[in-house]
Amino acid sequence: MHCVAGDGIGILAGAALGSVLALPNLANIAVEYALGFGFGWTIFQALFMRDTAGGSYKQALKGTFVAEFLSMNVLMAGMVLIVALGRSRIPSPLNPLMPEFWFVMSMALLVGFTVAYPINWWLVARNLKHGMMTVRRDEVGSDDLPTLGEPSTASAMEGARAESPEMGHAHRAGEKGDNLAAQIIGMVVLTTAIFAIAVWVALMVEAG
């Protein structure tokens, strides 16, 4: 929900702007992506969640960029397909002053939310993105909660039980870090491909 709330505001603004300016389909998608990503990343992720990322806005921007990029790719992939389908079924151009515009965009956000859920689950499970914050700071010390990108408390406890020698623990942490980096690269490639394919299909649908 946090992903859709942040990105969705920017995407809706981009869609309304593109409609008013009568932008071509590809340019309209680019504006929606740019505004959605920019708003979601700089405000909903980095600004609102800066305490989770260490307290520094600059650090929060750095720590949330990849998570926002992966989530945005999949969210937009779902949305562009539904918007293309809506435009192909509605004879008049989508106008933000008409209810058809808001119906199509609402359905697009719903589908985008659904298809983006797995990547957001993956990001939260690897502590690359904040979850629902079920562990409240009044239940544990604020210093005990990991910041984004650090191992979760449960993971750290399991690692401590499994590794008592310091050298062995450092070696295991290095392996986990390398493995996570490889997974992130794989997800960047996968989500970018998903978004590119969705844009191509959307353009084909709108072309007739």
Could you report the per-residue pLDDT of 91-110, keeping only the tens digit for each? 777 889 999 999 999 999 99
Q: In the predicted model, what is the mean pLDDT of the chain?
A: 81
pTM comes to 0.78
Residue indicated by tokens 């946090």: 2
Indicate left, alpha or beta for 148 from its phi (over 0: left) and psi (-120 to 50: alpha). Answer: beta
User: For the ranges 21-30, 42-51, 74-83, 149-158, which has the lowest average pLDDT?
Assistant: 149-158
pLDDT of residue 158: 44
Secondary-structure percent of the chain, ordered helix, strand, coil, rounded to 5: 75, 0, 25
**42 CB-contact burial (10 Å; exposed 0-12 / middle 13-18 / buried 19+):** middle
Helix (H, G, I), strand (E, B) or coil at 108: helix
| Neighbour tally for 205: CB within 10 Å | 18
Q: What is the mean pLDDT of residues 43-55?
A: 76
**153 CB-contact burial (10 Å; exposed 0-12 / middle 13-18 / buried 19+):** middle
SS (H, E, C) 119-148: HHHHHHHCCCCCCCCCCCCCCCCHHHCCCC
| 122-172 tens-digit pLDDT | 999 988 887 655 444 444 444 544 555 554 444 443 444 444 455 455 545
- One-letter amino acid of 19: S
Distance separating alpha carbons of residues 97 and 59, to the nearest angstrom: 40
Q: What are the DSSP calls for 18-70, one per residue?
A: HHHHT--HHHHHHHHHHHHHHHIIIIIITTTTTTTTTS-HHHHHHHHHHHHHH
Instruction: Provide the pLDDT confidence category of residue 190 given band limits of 50, 70 and 90.
Output: very high
